Amino acid sequence: MNFTDLFIAPFAEFEFMRRALVGIFALALGAGPVGAFLMLRRMSLTGDAMAHAILPGAAIGFLVSGLDLFAMTFGGLAAGLFVAVGAGVVARATELKEDASLAAFYLISLALGVMILSVKGSNVDLLHVLFGTVLGLDDPTLYLVAGIATFTLVTLAVIWRPLVLECVDPAFLSSVSRAGAPSHIAFLALVVLNLVGGFHALGTLLAVGLMMLPAATARFWVRDLTPLVCLATAIAFVSGFAGLLISYHVGAPSGPAIILVAGGAYVVSVLFGPAGGVIARRFPQRHFEA
């Protein structure tokens, strides 16, 4: 098997492979930067919790209207925002910490979503919502994912400075500006939006993988923010490209293949990454002494 047959032919011959590749590219553009900020803000598990939180809304939309894009998107978005706002309200009105409140909300949401699909739907419906159908993306879904990516990049450009300041020194930001709270709310909305977009391709269980694994991988290679965002986006896209090829040639499910490729890149980076990897920490380079 030559290079063309291995890497190019699947996308040249089959339209569904080209659609999947375009969808993954759009997801990477939005999820890469968002995942980098989630990691820097120590909110990685928040992304995972929000991915599970959209399940009951998407499930209700699926049962009401079937595979209707608007119904599932609106349901998932409403459920995700409800969990994010509800967890924040409970944390501020009680002595419970926000992480514990969010964990409680997302566990209830996950159980509710699985219960709805199990009682009212079928096993096929459950698998579709949990693991997505990246090889079945149609034009409206591609437009939705591309729109979310565009909106994400534009919004990040607007709130970039307060987001960076809040990562570095939130106390200083609160003392010189009131942009901290609005930028945080806008960022949470971007997280939910990108998870809803990723849900259509990778399902609720795997959508967060394309957001967090590339960001964590990139952190072992660069330390500055802008290169980190760019590298995380590139790793997300390459993981999607390689995962689709593995799925095509081996016959494995596409969504898990994509996330496993990203996971493999993470493992390699943990071992060999120059910015804090195992080998770099064990055998640090010597610096010239004056």
Grade residue 287 by pLDDT with cuts at 50, 70 and 90: low
Cα gap 222→216, rounded to integer Å: 11
pLDDT in the model for residue 30: 93
pLDDT one-digit tens code per residue, 176-232: 777 777 888 888 889 888 988 888 888 777 888 889 999 999 999 998 889 999 999
Does residue 98 have a pLDDT over 60? Answer: yes
Lookup result for tokens 């290679």: 221
pLDDT in the model for residue 221: 94
Backbone angles phi, psi at 285, to 5 degrees: -70, 140
Q: What is the DSSP letter of 219?
A: T
Residue 211 vs residues 4, 102, 115, 287: alpha-carbon distances, Å: 30, 19, 26, 35
> What average pLDDT score do residues 104-113 get?
81
Question: Hey, what CATH topology would domain 3-282 get?
Answer: ABC transporter involved in vitamin B12 uptake, BtuC (1.10.3470)
pLDDT in the model for residue 282: 82
Identify the three-state secondary structure at position 4: helix
Residue 95 vs residues 45, 89, 100: alpha-carbon distances, Å: 20, 11, 10
Q: By the 8 A CB rule, do 242 and 261 touch?
A: yes
> Where are the domains positioned within the chain?
3-282
pLDDT one-digit tens code per residue, 234-286: 999 999 999 999 999 998 888 889 999 999 999 999 999 998 888 888 877 66
Give 132 or 244, the one with higher predicted confidence: 244
> What average pLDDT score do residues 119-135 get?
69
> What average pLDDT score do residues 166-185 get?
74
In this predicted structure, which of 24-33, 38-47, 152-161, 205-214 has the lowest mean pLDDT?
A: 38-47
Q: By the 8 A CB rule, do 77 and 54 touch?
A: yes
Angle at 257 between CA 255 and CA 258, to 5 degrees: 70
Alpha-helix runs per DSSP H in the chain: 3, 9-13, 15-40, 44-53, 55-65, 69-93, 98-120, 123-131, 139-168, 170-176, 180-206, 209-218, 225-250, 254-272, 278-282
Which two tokens mark 217?
Answer: 């991988």
Q: What is the DSSP letter of 5?
A: I
pLDDT in the model for residue 68: 74
pLDDT in the model for residue 41: 81
Could you give the percent of the chain with pLDDT greater than 70?
90
Which two tokens mark 196?
Answer: 């809803």
Which two tokens mark 154?
Answer: 């534009």
Grade residue 67 by pLDDT with cuts at 50, 70 and 90: low
Q: What mean pLDDT, rounded, does the chain reach?
A: 83
Which two tokens mark 173?
Answer: 């930001």
Residue 175 gets the label, from left (phi > 0), alpha (psi -120 to 50) or beta, of alpha
Q: By the 8 A CB rule, do 57 and 77 touch?
A: yes
